[in-house]
Amino acid sequence: MSRSATKLLFTKRQTIFAGVRDFKSKRFKSQQHLHGLLSQALLSCIFVVSHLVERQLLHHVSQIR
């Protein structure tokens, strides 16, 4: 996994944990605010993972040829 991808995943993981912690302590203005934050973090994680899978597949295809 590339260093930038690892850093992004770690950052988004921290964002998710902070969101859950804040929600439990009721520091959020609304539940919508929490949902927005968590969905943004989740989409970023999905993007990073799909990018890594694509790179890995391209690498394997190039080795087959």
> Which pLDDT belongs to residue 47?
81
pTM greater than 0.75: no
Confidence of residue 35 (pLDDT cuts 50, 70, 90): confident
- Structural contact between residues 54 and 36, judged by C-beta atoms closer than 8 angstroms: no
When pLDDT is cut at 50, 70 and 90, the band that residue 27 belongs to is low
Residue 62: the pLDDT is 87
The amino acid present at 10, given as its one-letter code, is F
pLDDT band at 37 (very low <50, low <70, confident <90, very high): confident
User: How many percent of the chain have pLDDT more than 70?
Assistant: 58
Write the CB contacts of 40 (distance below 8 Å, at least 6 apart in sequence). 15
